[in-house]
Amino acid sequence: MAKKPKLLLLDANAVFAAFKHGVWDGLCRAYAVILPSTVVHVEGMFYDPPGGGRRVYLDLPALVASGSITEYSASAAEVAAMRARFRAPFRGRIDDGEAEAIVFLLEHPDEDVRFVTADKGALQAVAMLRLEDRAMCLAEALERCGLGRALPEEHGAAFFRKQVSIGLERFITREGLA
């Protein structure tokens, strides 16, 4: 098994899943967690608990203030430059938080970090930019630190591999790349 990365860069869907499945605190103990600023302030404000009920408020800015997690903010110019690497139809598949995360990967090539997301467009984009070795699914991140558990399909290895494979095919055919 590959070594555990030092840093995890989480997208909003991975944050929600970690809270829903009761592994958030363990994840933060096992890794240094980085969240894109858009996730901290816009995308990651609430999650729906298992079994329904009232939405749960996530005070991610308080976790940043306490030092539990780190916030990364990409400039508008950096995000625009990253998005310009893709054609317009595909570009729209990358949400703002994911775009910031991809900029982090591009701007920090030597960091021991893995981007964790369950978003098809983001995983394909990472592969199209040949950054797939700097991403992983939430199930693998949890397994590497002893917190493995059953998760929805989109957080598992098979889903991850399929989206990366699609992205690599897009890289070869140039479909979606500018």
pLDDT-derived band at 170, boundaries 50, 70, 90: very high
pLDDT-derived band at 81, boundaries 50, 70, 90: very high
All domains in the chain, ordered by first residue? 7-173 (3.40.50.1010)
The arithmetic mean of pLDDT across residues 110-118, rounded, is: 95
- Helix %, strand %, coil % for the chain, to 5? 50, 15, 35
37-59: pLDDT as tens digits: 999 998 777 666 667 777 777 88
What pLDDT does residue 47 have?
Answer: 66
Render the burial of 96-111: b for 16+ CB within 10 Å, e for the rest.
bbbbbbbbbbbeeeee
pLDDT at 161 exceeding the cut of 90: yes
Report which of 134, 137, 135 is spatially closest to residue 149, judged by C-alpha positions.
137
Spell out the residues 6+ positions from residue 126 whose beta carbon is closer than 8 angstroms to its own. 102, 105, 115, 132, 134, 135, 164, 167
pLDDT-derived band at 20, boundaries 50, 70, 90: confident
Tell me how far apart the alpha carbons of residues 57 and 121 are, in angstroms, rounded to a whole number: 26
